[in-house]
């Protein structure tokens, strides 16, 4: 090990810019990976790594440090407070005479706008209802918790939630929010999220052996940014794929399809790609303008409004010289900061690059959904149907659920074993008060995906809703055996016990789940 460190250090010292020595460093990394484990890219690309370390993406997820102290009321007699000490950062909830305290495991967000918090209980991640808003220098409820009467630390954090804040999450398939220790193989967004795996490049460090986003075709190039900056209304996975299966160099649609509302102009936090596509700049560029035109992921200095104004001038200087002085701040007028409809207590830059600032106000939401880019033809109807079901459930639109369900019944005939289609049909039927029919779909899913906590829960819930209480109990108990912190299954199982007249059993389960949820790492000794 020491010999490897010495060789690598000598290699770095004598030849940072030598192609031969770059290959030697790559060879040494394969022989002595721990010698370069701190950052394998830095050996050959020190300026890029140093620049990236100052970017927002490099601060997307971190361990808590000395977080600000603070407290705030949250309605329903609830009060949250935050304090840090030698044993970490803790968040305290007081309600109805009861006190719960949770240790913060991760901080998500760069802090430019806000900082959210993740709680780890056993090997599960939950979102804290507490958020720190940088512009106000104060704590308040996190986005999405404002409409909850009794906000708590029980919101599961799934794979899609952490996809855009971490380099690589070790999510356990078949669970809602369970992860294999150490939870993240890479915590903040890493080089590989944009450049792809480095293995081939380390073996042969020459141009073309790793992804350069700027040299990709527009759809693949833009997909790299869209994996995190295009949420749409819903994202639909292709059969057998996970959200982490997308790799730079591909189109997003090789893993999942993003659906947006046709003609919608809603301003949301994660809608940068939608906004930019609406701009005259993007529409008139014929695909040449993209995120990288203005945003350098390896900045030598922190970007300012003048940094971006200079980028505007590269295209507009000749035509705007008379009406706009050379030192004009383009961003302040044409990319104003606005309150996003889903952004909590903060504001975000409008990437539509409007001629004049547009007033904030309610925006109509069309019912029709469209693919941002179409997947392969065989998946177009399937993914659109699932998009309508998902959008209908999240938006509480029975019309969209029915529309998606009708499409799915046609698709099922051609693809009877498609797990995603069967789940969509089951969810639509369950919400449509047809639990017996929903059960048929969920049972077929369970046959295809055995030992899945979420599939067991779906079957148990459908049995409960159809009045088959005894059978429901066995499936819900199995779900909790597979995933002891699947809270929605525990809630359903409590209802089963109550219907069976086993109120003590229901109470004992509730007590067990409360004790488990209070078992935040490091709790003892606080």
Q: Which residue has the higher pLDDT, 41 or 478?
A: 478
Of the residues 164, 185, 206, which one is the last residue of a structural domain? 185
Residue 441 lies in a domain: yes
pLDDT bracket for residue 408 (50, 70, 90)? very high
The pLDDT score that the predictor gives to residue 312 is 87
Contact in structure between 120 and 153 (CB atoms under 8 Å): no
C-beta neighbour count of 17 within 10 angstroms: 7
Q: What is the pTM assigned to this prediction?
A: 0.87
The pLDDT score that the predictor gives to residue 24 is 47
Query: Looking at the predicted structure, is the pLDDT value of residue 15 above 60?
Result: no
The pLDDT score that the predictor gives to residue 306 is 84
Query: Looking at the predicted structure, is the pLDDT value of residue 268 above 80?
Result: no
d(CA 196, CA 190) in angstroms, rounded, equals 10
Tokens encoding 414: 């051609």
pLDDT bracket for residue 37 (50, 70, 90)? very low
Of the residues 167, 185, 203, which one is the last residue of a structural domain? 185
* DSSP per residue, 59-91: GSEE---SPPPEEEE-STT-EEEEEEETTEEEE
Residue 193 lies in a domain: no
Query: Looking at the predicted structure, is the pLDDT value of residue 14 above 50?
Result: no
Q: Which residue has the higher pLDDT, 459 or 143?
A: 459
d(CA 132, CA 117) in angstroms, rounded, equals 9
Query: Looking at the predicted structure, is the pLDDT value of residue 8 above 50?
Result: no
Q: Which among 65-74, 269-278, 459-468 has the top mean pLDDT?
A: 459-468
Residue 198 lies in a domain: no
Span 419-434, pLDDT tens digits? 999 999 999 999 999 9
What average pLDDT does this structure show over 392-417?
Answer: 96
Report how far apart, in Å, the C-alpha atoms of 526 and of each of 100, 248, 251, 494 are. Answer: 12, 44, 48, 31
Residue 414 lies in a domain: yes
Of the residues 169, 185, 201, which one is the last residue of a structural domain? 185
Q: Which of 172-186, 358-372, 445-459, 503-517 has the lowest mean pLDDT?
A: 358-372
Span 200-234, pLDDT tens digits? 898 898 988 999 999 999 999 999 999 999 989 99
Residue 364 lies in a domain: no
Helices 453-465, 487-499: crossing angle, 10 deg rounding: 30
Full domain range(s) for residue 493: 379-517
Residue 131 lies in a domain: yes
The pLDDT score that the predictor gives to residue 11 is 38
Residue 103 lies in a domain: yes
Query: Looking at the predicted structure, is the pLDDT value of residue 9 above 50?
Result: no
The pLDDT score that the predictor gives to residue 127 is 97
pLDDT bracket for residue 169 (50, 70, 90)? very high
The share of the chain scoring above pLDDT 90, in percent, equals 61
Query: Looking at the predicted structure, is the pLDDT value of residue 336 above 50?
Result: yes
Query: Looking at the predicted structure, is the pLDDT value of residue 440 above 90?
Result: yes
pLDDT bracket for residue 303 (50, 70, 90)? confident
Nearest-5° Cα angle at 388, 448 to 247: 65
CATH number at residue 412: 1.25.40.10
The pLDDT score that the predictor gives to residue 66 is 84
Tokens encoding 136: 């106000």
Residue 490: HSE in the Cβ half-sphere, 13 Å Cα cutoff? 19
Domain count, the chain: 2
Residue 232 lies in a domain: no
């Amino acid at each position: 090990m020491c010999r490897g460190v010495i060789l690598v250090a000598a290699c770095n010292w004598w030849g940072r810019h030598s192609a031969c020595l770059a290959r030697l460093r790559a060879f040494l990394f394969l022989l002595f990976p721990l010698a370069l484990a701190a950052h394998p890219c830095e050996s050959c690309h020190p300026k890029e790594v140093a620049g990236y370390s100052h970017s927002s993406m490099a601060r997307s997820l971190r361990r808590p440090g000395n977080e600000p102290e603070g407290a705030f009321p949250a309605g329903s007699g609830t009060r949250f407070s935050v304090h840090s000490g030698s044993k970490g950062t803790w968040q305290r909830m007081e309600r109805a005479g009861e006190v719960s305290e949770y240790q913060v495991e991760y901080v998500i967000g760069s802090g430019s706008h806000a900082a959210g918090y993740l709680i780890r209980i056993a090997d599960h991640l939950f979102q804290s209802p507490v958020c720190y808003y940088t512009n106000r220098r104060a704590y308040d409820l996190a986005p999405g918790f404002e409409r909850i009467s009794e906000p708590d630390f029980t919101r599961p954090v799934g794979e899609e939630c952490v996809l855009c804040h971490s380099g690589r999450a070790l999510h356990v398939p078949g669970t809602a929010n369970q992860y294999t220790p150490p939870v993240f193989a890479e915590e903040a967004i890493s080089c590989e999220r944009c450049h792809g795996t480095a293995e081939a490049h380390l073996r042969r460090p020459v141009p073309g052996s790793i992804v350069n986003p700027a040299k990709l075709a527009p759809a693949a190039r833009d997909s790299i940014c869209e994996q995190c900056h295009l949420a749409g209304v819903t994202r639909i996975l292709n059969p057998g794929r996970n959200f982490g299966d997308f790799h730079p160099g591909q189109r997003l649609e090789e893993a999942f399809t993003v659906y947006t509302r046709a003609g919608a102009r809603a301003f949301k936090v994660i809608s940068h790609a939608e906004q930019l596509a609406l701009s005259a700049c993007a529409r008139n560029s014929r695909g040449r303008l993209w995120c990288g035109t203005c945003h350098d992921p390896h900045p030598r200095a922190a970007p300012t409004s003048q940094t971006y104004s200079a980028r505007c001038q590269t295209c507009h200087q000749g035509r705007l010289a008379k009406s706009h002085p050379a030192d004009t701040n383009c961003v302040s007028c044409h990319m104003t900061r606005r309150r996003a409809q889903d952004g909590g207590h903060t504001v975000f830059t409008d990437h539509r690059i409007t001629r004049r600032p547009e007033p904030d106000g309610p925006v109509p939401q069309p019912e029709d959904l469209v693919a941002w880019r179409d997947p392969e033809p065989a998946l177009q109807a399937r993914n659109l149907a699932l998009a309508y079901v998902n959008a209908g459930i999240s938006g509480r639109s029975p019309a969209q659920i029915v529309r998606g369900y009708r499409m799915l019944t046609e698709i099922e005939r051609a693809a009877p074993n498609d797990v995603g289609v069967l789940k969509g049909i089951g969810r639509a039927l369950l919400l449509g008060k047809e639990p017996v029919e929903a059960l048929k779909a969920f049972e077929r899913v369970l046959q295809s995906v055995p030992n899945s906590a979420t599939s067991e829960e779906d079957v148990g819930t459908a049995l409960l809703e159809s009045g088959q209480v005894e059978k429901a109990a066995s499936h819900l108990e199995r779900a909790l055996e597979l995933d002891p912190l699947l809270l929605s299954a525990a809630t359903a199982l409590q209802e089963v016990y109550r219907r069976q007249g086993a109120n003590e059993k229901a109470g004992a389960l509730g007590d067990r789940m409360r004790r488990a949820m209070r078992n935040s790492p490091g709790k003892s000794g606080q």
